[in-house]
Chain A
Amino acid sequence: MNRDTSISTRDKVAAGLRKRHRSELTFRAFGFIATAIGILFLAVFFWSLIAQGYTAFSQTYLTLDIEFSEEALAPGGQLDLEYADFDGVVRQSLRQLLPDATDRRARREMNRLVSIGAGYQVRDAIRDDESLLGTTQTMRVPAASTVDMVMKGNIDRTLPEEQRTASDRQLAWIDQLAEQGRLEMGFNTALFTNGDSREPELAGIRGAVMGSLYMLIVAIAVSFPVGTAAAIYLEEFAPKNRWSDLIEVNINNLAAVPSIVFGLLGLAVFINWIGIPRSSPLVGGFVLSLLTLPVIIIASRAAIKAVPPSIREAALGLGASKMQVVGHHVLPLALPGMLTGAIIGMSRALGESAPLLMIGMVAFIVDVPAGFTDPATALPVQVYLWADSPERAFAERTSAAIIVLLAFLLVMNLTAVILRKRVERQW
């Protein structure tokens, strides 16, 4: 090479410095813009979500003076919790507040102002305390979603009557009730205590949250031990040959398989062949663990690979057995990485809906699942179900469910971070 010795290293470096600085600046500007775009998208996403969803956390309640009359509830002198006309009692007290509804049509419209949940509330009250019979109690019952929507300003009063869900008469009554101080906004407890419902004001996400929780428990209980054990075996014990390469390629491919395929597999194997009850968190959890296994295996293998070989040599050189090397040195160092893998896997599992559709978890389920074999649904599926409903009240609940899903995710990730910090600080 033709080297010009008259120019010293110093001059050559100095000549190139500007170019280096420029490329660094360009890169930093590019990185900054990329980050800013990411944050912008995130901000827009959260803003629209919260703007749409925050109203779902409050709900309009109606205060009624309910007369637990014996003739209405226990006509034969005997209280019959199954067949007593609880709705009638509620309607009766509403009629006292709004006496101008005389004809049948008007009454029917008026009845629609109060949620059917009110009747259940009356039933529960008397079931818990029979001495209420014959007394009059002031009760706070949920208003129908129409009232709620009017109160939240989601119904445009300027529209012609036939294009509104609330009629002119209903609007007048609502104003009247509001004036009497009978309507008030309160925290929407039903959203957190109820399962799904056809009535938006009674629909809650507890069923979906519990379903998701049970599924995640199953998924982590299956995929974490299996995934880490497989990773340890593949990295530390399995001979490195064509077979292990083949397995490696397959695991990597598995991580990219569309999740719905796992749903089909779960349907064929877990439900049809093994006979696990369909729609249950148990089968959902198994399907999700199929999904998270490759993720956990790949992350765990990377974590194990990252343990410096000199540590292994040191332990082996002292006479530690293979198992001791893994247990005493490799695992403690790899555990944080493995936990990260598990959390990435679980986050993915929590957000999955497609495979759950295949195993019947998309059904309309009112009861909150009490165990791993009860029919259940999951948060993302609940989002899908509500997003599909035409009522305006379900739209805000959809956003609320997404907010809860994100909060769930946040709690899960935070737990993982804390757990990881704990493990990392171990020595």
Chain B
Amino acid sequence: MDNEVAVATGDAMEHVEYVESDANPSGDTVGNVKSDDAFISAEDVNVYYGDNHAIKNVTLEIGRQQVIALIGPSGCGKSTFLRCLNRMNDSIDSARVTGRITLDGEDIYAKNLDPVLLRARVGIVFQKPNPFPKTIYENVAYGPRIHGLAANRSELDQIVHTSLERAGLLKEVKDRLDEPGTSLSGGQQQRLCIARTIAVNPEVILMDEPCSALDPIATAKIEDLIDELSENYAIIIVTHSMQQAARVSQRVAYFHLGKLIEVDETSRIFTNPQHKLTEDYITGRIG
């Protein structure tokens, strides 16, 4: 149906060719969507923004201590899928999510599930840095404070310091914790947002291109952090950098026009992609 529409409008011809000539007509994902020790599991997820079908029948499992990278051309729905996992799409009026997503066996779209609790367990770092117009300290302390994670001020100080340290920002800001978070540079703001997210100590961290504004040194720090965090947490990271995906992730999921085309172990995806679209993308022919 979508293909017909695309053909009719004409301007999506190129994509339609891909879908029709090479892709699996049934829409199934190639590779292995299953994971050992699955912590998050999405089944047949569809997302619509009004009439725009942004995510199409995505099924994917993510392991408990796994880093999975979502890759794909711009506009293919990576952010949209990521935002499904902690129900951030709830606040978009036009967005509609169908299918089933479970966290540790629990349906996160169940009526009786409180998104507040879900989001405390599944933290997110957004694509664009969005610090609060409050002090650096307050930015990091906000999450622990609303969830009551610190018993007293010194515990809170401790959380703020370790979070900033882990995000690789402490050295730069430790003398100016009282300055507004918005006065930091773009890359520093992004690291502040990462610190803010890990301060809540979530079980899953969703990262939407966390390094797109960072220099190689800060990027390396964040990648180290991801390695470290993955000992305890599941991390889902959207990235446009193949190198980064190769460095940090155990698995890679390739999205194309809202479909999950291929998922597999990172080494396999980069050495031996099964699907032509995946191959084209990672060799630089699409994107």
B191–chain A nearest beta-carbon distance, Å? 14
Q: How far is the CA of A324 from the CA of B145 in the complex (A)?
A: 11
Q: How far is the CA of A313 from the CA of B79 in the complex (A)?
A: 14
Residue pair A333, B133 in contact (C-beta under 8 Å): yes
Whether A318 contacts B146 in the complex (CB less than 8 A), given A240-B93, A311-B133, A427-B180, comes out as yes
A315–chain B nearest beta-carbon distance, Å? 7
Nearest B-chain residue to A308, judged by Cβ: B130
Whether A318 contacts B130 in the complex (CB less than 8 A), given A312-B91, A328-B142, A427-B180, comes out as no
B254–chain A nearest beta-carbon distance, Å? 25
A319 touches B (CB below 8 Å) = yes
B64 touches A (CB below 8 Å) = no
- What 1/0 flags go to B83-108 for Cβ under 8 Å of A? 00010100101000000000000000
Whether A319 contacts B126 in the complex (CB less than 8 A), given A314-B131, A427-B134, comes out as no
- B93 / chain A contacts, CB cutoff of 8 Å: 240
Q: How far is the CA of A291 from the CA of B278 in the complex (A)?
A: 63
Q: How far is the CA of A427 from the CA of B138 in the complex (A)?
A: 10
A103–chain B nearest beta-carbon distance, Å? 84
Whether A320 contacts B132 in the complex (CB less than 8 A), given A310-B126, A313-B91, A427-B180, comes out as no
Whether A317 contacts B146 in the complex (CB less than 8 A), given A310-B128, A312-B91, A329-B132, comes out as no
**29 pairs from A and B in contact (CB 8 Å cutoff):** A310-B128, A311-B130, A311-B133, A313-B91, A314-B126, A314-B132, A314-B193, A314-B196, A317-B119, A317-B123, A317-B124, A317-B126, A318-B119, A318-B123, A318-B143, A318-B146, A318-B197, A319-B119, A319-B200, A320-B146, A321-B116, A328-B142, A328-B146, A329-B132, A333-B133, A427-B134, A427-B135, A427-B138, A427-B180
- What 1/0 flags go to B146-165 for Cβ under 8 Å of A? 11000000000000000000
Write the residues of chain B forming the contact surface with A, with a CB cutoff of 8 angstroms: 86, 88, 91, 93, 116-120, 123-124, 126, 128, 130-135, 138, 142-143, 146-147, 180, 193, 196-197, 200
User: Which A318-352 residues sit within 8 Å CB-CB of chain B?
Assistant: 318-321, 324, 328-329, 333
Q: How far is the CA of A240 from the CA of B91 in the complex (A)?
A: 12
Nearest A-chain residue to B121, judged by Cβ: A319
User: Which A32-80 residues sit within 8 Å CB-CB of chain B?
Assistant: none
Residue pair A310, B119 in contact (C-beta under 8 Å): no
Q: How far is the CA of A318 from the CA of B93 in the complex (A)?
A: 20
The listed residue with most B CB atoms (<10 A of its CB), out of A308, A318, A328, A427, is A318
- B196 / chain A contacts, CB cutoff of 8 Å: 314, 318
- A312 / chain B contacts, CB cutoff of 8 Å: 91
Whether A319 contacts B147 in the complex (CB less than 8 A), given A311-B130, A314-B126, comes out as yes
- A324 / chain B contacts, CB cutoff of 8 Å: 146
- B133 / chain A contacts, CB cutoff of 8 Å: 311, 333, 427
A316 touches B (CB below 8 Å) = yes
Tell me whether chain A's interface is mostly helix, strand or loop, or mixed.
Answer: helix
Residue pair B120, A319 in contact (C-beta under 8 Å): yes
A316–chain B nearest beta-carbon distance, Å? 6
Nearest A-chain residue to B87, judged by Cβ: A316
- B142 / chain A contacts, CB cutoff of 8 Å: 315, 318, 320, 328
A230–chain B nearest beta-carbon distance, Å? 20
Residue pair B126, A313 in contact (C-beta under 8 Å): yes
Task: List 10 additional A-B contacts (Cβ < 8 Å) besides A329-B132, A427-B135.
Answer: A311-B130, A313-B88, A313-B91, A314-B193, A318-B143, A319-B116, A319-B143, A320-B142, A320-B146, A321-B116
Whether A317 contacts B86 in the complex (CB less than 8 A), given A312-B91, A427-B133, comes out as yes
A349–chain B nearest beta-carbon distance, Å? 32
Q: How far is the CA of A169 from the CA of B71 in the complex (A)?
A: 105
Q: How far is the CA of A320 from the CA of B88 in the complex (A)?
A: 12
- A314 / chain B contacts, CB cutoff of 8 Å: 126, 130-132, 193, 196
Q: How far is the CA of A240 from the CA of B147 in the complex (A)?
A: 30
Whether A318 contacts B126 in the complex (CB less than 8 A), given A312-B91, A427-B134, comes out as no
Q: How far is the CA of A313 from the CA of B147 in the complex (A)?
A: 17
Q: How far is the CA of A316 from the CA of B114 in the complex (A)?
A: 12
Q: How far is the CA of A317 from the CA of B138 in the complex (A)?
A: 16
A242–chain B nearest beta-carbon distance, Å? 14
Residue pair B132, A311 in contact (C-beta under 8 Å): yes
Nearest A-chain residue to B202, judged by Cβ: A319
- A328 / chain B contacts, CB cutoff of 8 Å: 142, 146
- 6 interchain residue pairs of minimum CB distance: A319-B120, A310-B130, A319-B119, A318-B143, A317-B124, A314-B130
Q: How far is the CA of A311 from the CA of B182 in the complex (A)?
A: 11
Nearest A-chain residue to B114, judged by Cβ: A321
